[in-house]
Structure 1
Amino acid sequence: MPEQMTDFDLGSLVDLDRYPIHARGSQAYADTVRLARKGLGTEECAYLPDFARPEAVARMQEEAESLIPKAVYFSQQHNPYFSKVPENPGPRDPRAILGRKNNGLVPGEAFPRDGLIWNLCRHPAVKDFVEDCMASGPLHFYEDPYGCLNVSVQRAGEQFAWHFDTNEFTVSIQLQKPEAGGVFEFAPNIRTPENECYDDVAAVLEGDRSKVIPLDLRPGDMQLFKGRYSVHRVTEVEGDTPRLIALLAYARAPGMYATPERSQQIWGMVHPKQIEAAARHQRADNLTD
């Protein structure tokens, strides 16, 4: 069963006057969902400023800071597609333009179950709200012990270069803003399912800002983003204050875990629950991963 505290005081975490996610079915709730869907429909991004209350954000910052030593760090060069560079790329082939991703991720099992980050990000009302905003079918909490909830940690000099997502959407809540840099930037709908639009993607990678939208998230802001067709990045962080952002995780089927092989690849470790789930064949599909 999911580990969440359904009796947690949601009003102490979320500005329910502005975002009445506790009142599913009300007109105010419907209006909030409609605005989020509008952003997702036009720019693939819904921006909800000051979603979390300032007092809760301050406490979540402290909690996240205390968890930084438990983060697993990653560093890799990649093209926007996380694919191999073609053997004979053209002069402006974006598949041959490499950037760098380096950041840390606090694994889900590190979060105290009575802490604010866990109880906000795993609250059923938040999940239901995201489900209604995305309007693409039921969502369930992702149960993987490492991937169920993460905080991304980016320190001075760290970034996430231009890329597309393989997943359907991402949901995040900014917890801490760095002194400079760490800005989320995206070029919405720059490719389509039928056309990679390599020239347009290459232009962005080469510095063309005409299609780029910067979104300088503040602590407490929530973002719903569809990055499959919108190339995006996080600019290099500057200063001593790390960029901290909570990454919420959902699945299309209940009881979903990463495979042991995928977990080893991402985290460098395997959890017994992943092995148990693999033995039970708890997968929503038969894909390799």
Structure 2
Amino acid sequence: MCMTMQTWFITGVNSGFGRELTEQLLSRGDRVAGTVRREGTVDDLRAKYGDRLWVGHLDVTDLPRIREVVDTAFADLGRIDVVVINAGYGLFGAAEEFTDDQVVHQVTTNLIGSIQTARAALPHLRAQGGGRLIQISSVAGLAAHAGASLYHTSKWGIEGFMEALAQEVAPFGIEVTLVEPGGARTSFSGSSLQLSEPLAAYDGTPAAAVRAFRHTQVPVPGDPVKVAAKVIDSAAHQPAPMRLVLGSDSYQGITAALRNRLAQVEPQQASAAETDADTATQHG
């Protein structure tokens, strides 16, 4: 069966899921417009695949540059079928331990950078009559743990944005998927993970558990090759899955968090209604 070549735009293709997605797509014959923060980090792929790999230099905290790069990619390549918003990193530690600059940088990179990338792509996707937006989120976008408050902030934020956006752009033939991977054996635990400077006050508390990342390679179940393959496959599904849960740890973490949230909310059905306006008062 002959497969139609597609063109993908992916942020952060130098490592992690972005790199794995790019390698798999190029190997099957697709085109990729990829962004990197450090020039030269995908020269091996450019040498191997030639002009099927378009590379743009982009730090997603440079917000005006995002639109420049997206506009140029569409201008150079024409139609782009799938936009994958992948660039990001994790900042871990107790909320009180972060510097103000760390707070701003985490939210700017993971949340505002992702929002602006989607916004930059939308006029092009509308003009061409549709396309697919895929946001790499995380189990951390639906479940929360001590020591990851800022990372959760960025991921929970993008979950809400993308879920609302999907409803806004559906009339234009644009579909949205949030990818919810669990732990995977990528560079996330290395170059893409940052830790706060510890405060002694948090020694022995739940938030301190993340300090083990400084000294220990935490075992994770996810295979990035399999994760990337599932993400690629999802782009062909109609309708698009709103959420793509990848990894047994992700499924367990998400379902446990949602059940716990329902357990907190459902007993309040009667008391919640006590604050409704009286019907007679409303229409009297």
Q: TM-score band, normalised by the shorter chain?
A: under 0.3
| Higher RCO, 1 vs 2 (CA within 8 Å, ≥6 residues apart) | 1
Using structure 1 for the length normalisation, give the TM-score: 0.26
Computing the radius of gyration over CA atoms, which structure comes out larger, 1 or 2? 2
More helix as a share of residues: 2
